[in-house]
Amino acid sequence: MTKAPLSLEDIQDAAQALNEIAIRTPLLGSPDVDVRFAGRLLIKVECVQRTGAFKIRGAYNRIRQMSASEKQRGVITYSSGNHAQGVALASQLLGTSALIAMPEDTTTAKMESTRALEAEIVTFDRDSEDSGEVVSRLRAKTGRIIVPPSGDGRVLAGGGTVALELFEQARNLGTSLDAVLVPCGGGGLTAATAIVMQALSPTTQVFAVEPELFDDTRRSLVAGRRVSNPKGRRTICDAIMTPTPNALTFPINRDLLAGALVVSDDEVRAAMLFAYDQFKIVVEPGAAVGIAAILSRKIEIQGKTIATIVTGGNIDPGRFCGMLKQHSATKDKLNDRWANDERLCKPID
């Protein structure tokens, strides 16, 4: 088995460092939903985290371990939005500066939120340019320290505090987890969650969940090696629209995951509506894939307790409402009363 670049102790150390920085986000459940499923669904709502996503955890844990001279040089990363905001806020809190390489098609809301945190942005074309190469060029020019979204054990340890909290909260509810579903892009949070569950709850299965056309982790698990997605593809799940599994995290996921599940954009829209209707939370598309997997029966919840991490809620109101309006294509597929609700996003008289 591949030696992990971090341990449970690293994650526990990060939790101590983040104690007064990150919000200990709620673990939500609903008796009515559980009756409908004949099982128990628990949702870890990182959409209410600072900057609207879990990414502040990993960014802060990495930057806090930089030396004074490194902080003076500043940090650099690439991101489609959530990691960018996490790095920008962590840089503010820890007295350094941030330069972010962002794809040109990043949503306006995420770019504006990143700039509002005083980060500098450089854009690139995700189809013709490699994000890692873009960052390497900028790093060579600026001397900044790279804080990658997934490829650093300290970043992974910070992200793993989500899973640590999830385990503790489920235990406090007096329940054991049969499975945890994790939205998967580069695979960092997925890997960290797998490490936590292996150490504290080894009978809990951990699944990566990906959007269709960006199922590189699923295909890589089947192949036993990293497989990339073809260029030019798109999904509404922009937060996890990564080209290939991360080199650091894939061996962990290959060794520890129970598998990977794949959902369509239509199923994601239905999941966003479900989360709003039943839990009163706003979930961005990439964060809703775990809920989508349950609603579309990609995994059986009957008689089980399954948790999913809602990794973020960074979506502007117009785009959110527009996606809910487009959910009609999922009605026949899901045959679900929550996917047939037309009450939302209607004009106000």
Structural domain spans, the chain: 8-54+153-340, 55-146
What pLDDT score was predicted for residue 3? 55
State the DSSP H helix or E strand holding residue 211, giving kind and residue range, or none if neither.
strand 205-211
Give the count of beta carbons closer than 10 Å to the beta carbon of residue 279: 19
Residue 1 has pLDDT above 70, yes or no: no
Tokens of 333: 């597929």
Mean per-residue pLDDT, 196-200: 98
Lowest mean pLDDT among 4-18, 28-42, 121-135, 251-265: 121-135
CA distance linking residue 307 with residue 305, whole number of Å: 7
What pLDDT score was predicted for residue 2? 46
- Spell 292-326 as b/e; 16+ CB within 10 A means b: bbbbbebbebeebbbbbbbbbbbbeeeebeebbee
Residue 128 has pLDDT above 90, yes or no: no
Amino acid letter for position 141: K
How much is the pTM? 0.92
Helices within the chain (DSSP H only): 8-17, 31-37, 55-63, 68-73, 82-93, 108-116, 131-142, 153-172, 188-200, 216-223, 250-256, 265-279, 289-295, 317-325, 331-334
Which residues have a Cβ under 8 Å from the Cβ of 36 and sit 6 or more positions away? none
Fold of 55-146: Rossmann fold (3.40.50)
Mean per-residue pLDDT, 100-122: 91
Mean per-residue pLDDT, 122-134: 88
Mean per-residue pLDDT, 236-259: 94
CA distance linking residue 165 with residue 222, whole number of Å: 30
Collapse the DSSP code of 99 into the 3-class scheme (helix H, G, I; strand E, B; otherwise coil) and give the result.
strand
Residue 333 has pLDDT above 60, yes or no: no
Distances (CA, A) of 290 to 44, 72, 101, 184, 338: 11, 39, 28, 10, 16
pLDDT band, residue 328 (cuts 50/70/90): low
Mean per-residue pLDDT, 143-170: 96
Q: Choose between 192 and 344: higher pLDDT.
A: 192
Collapse the DSSP code of 130 into the 3-class scheme (helix H, G, I; strand E, B; otherwise coil) and give the result.
coil
Distances (CA, A) of 45 to 34, 216, 283: 17, 25, 9
Residue 349 has pLDDT above 60, yes or no: no
At residue 215, what are phi and psi to the nearest 5 degrees? -95, 45
CA distance linking residue 334 with residue 63, whole number of Å: 44
DSSP state of 32: H
Q: Would the CATH topology of 8-54+153-340 be identical to that of 55-146?
A: yes
What pLDDT score was predicted for residue 280? 96
CATH architecture assigned to 8-54+153-340: 3-Layer(aba) Sandwich (3.40)
What pLDDT score was predicted for residue 4? 63
Residue 202 has pLDDT above 80, yes or no: yes
pLDDT band, residue 335 (cuts 50/70/90): very low
Dihedral over Cα of 174, 179, 341, 273: its sign: positive
Minimal CA–CA distance to 330: which of 264, 286, 279?
264
